[in-house]
Amino acid sequence: MATCPCFLETLMSRRSVRRFRPDPIPRELVERIVEAGIRAPTAGGGEQWFFVAVLDEARRRRIHELLIQAHMRYAQEVLRTPLPRDKAERWLRVMRRGEYLAPLYIAAYLDLRKRLYRDEYLELERLWAIQSLAAAIENMLLAAHGLGLGGVWLGVPLLMRREFDEVLQPPEGCELQGILAIGYRAEEPGPRPRRPLHEVLRTI
Ligand SMILES: Cc1cc2nc3c(=O)[nH]c(=O)nc-3n(C[C@H](O)[C@H](O)[C@H](O)COP(=O)(O)O)c2cc1C
């Protein structure tokens, strides 16, 4: 198979984008992104995932409200050092002005309705299925970036699964694992630094 140097360029130039233009995303692009997601490796070939793509404006606005609440909970209750009040209030204002409001959300669900392994391996099955789903989420982020869109992976909805499920209406028995906010970029963030390789890699 031919090598593809431009793929690495796409991967290395991805950034989390949190502010989007309101331009709608065509359904065809939504499908291309999710097609890329489900090309991810999947443990045991299980494909124990389900996706809810949200284009509808009223639902997107409700999701945005919930995202504001979830991020505030994260800032005040989850962080070991909570965000100081003035910073939290500033962030709240930024979010109310439209940060995280996206023309497309894709919610990623763990779907263990079809089980592959014996009950005593349930924990491992969940772990493998969640790892597979994470690979699919990253594939979708990269695909969105490759298609000229921006996006961010959102974990804070896991703090308020019930409220998000009311909007997203997943099939019974599915468990929310993350949401992608995707759209045409209204910001061009620089790269967020990473720890140097020598700290995180040992070659033996
Ligand atoms: C599992 C996971 C959960 C995340 N949750 C959030 C989130 O709730 N809100 C947010 O703004 N960013 C979230 N992010 C994005 C990270 O903050 C971001 O990837 C990190 O700061 C590195 O920046 P970069 O993606 O631009 O390289 C999440 C990323 C991952 C992998």
Distance of alpha carbon 139 from alpha carbon 9, whole angstroms? 15
Of the chain, the percentage scoring pLDDT greater than 90 comes to 97
Domain count, the chain: 1
Q: Amino acid identity, residue 115?
A: R
Å from CA of 18 to ligand 1 middle: 10
Q: What's the pLDDT score for residue 4?
A: 74
Structural domain contains residue 60: yes
Structural domain contains residue 113: yes
CATH code, 55? 3.40.109.10
- Cβ-proximal residues to 24 (8 Å cutoff; 6+ apart), any chain: 55, 103
Residue 180: domain span:
33-187
Atom of ligand 1 nearest to the CA of 74: 8
In this prediction the pTM is: 0.98
Distance of alpha carbon 46 from alpha carbon 173, whole angstroms? 16
Of the candidates 52, 53, 99, 51, the residue with the CA atom closest to the CA atom of residue 72:
99
Instruction: List the beta bridge partners of residue 89.
Output: none
Does residue 98 have a pLDDT over 80?
A: yes
**Contact between 109 and 177 (Cβ < 8 Å):** yes
Å from CA of 152 to ligand 1 middle: 6
Answer whether 156 contacts ligand 1 (Cβ < 6 A): yes
Q: What's the pLDDT score for residue 138?
A: 98
Structural domain contains residue 4: no
Q: What's the pLDDT score for residue 1?
A: 62
Answer whether 154 contacts ligand 1 (Cβ < 6 A): yes
Structural domain contains residue 167: yes
pLDDT in tens, 176-195: 999 999 999 999 999 999 99
Answer whether 15 contacts ligand 1 (Cβ < 6 A): yes
- Provide the 10 A C-beta neighbour count for residue 124: 12
- Provide the 10 A C-beta neighbour count for residue 56: 12
Structural domain contains residue 58: yes
Distance of alpha carbon 145 from alpha carbon 38, whole angstroms? 16
pLDDT in tens, 2-41: 677 799 999 999 999 999 999 999 999 999 999 999 999 9
**Contact between 104 and 25 (Cβ < 8 Å):** yes
Structural domain contains residue 168: yes
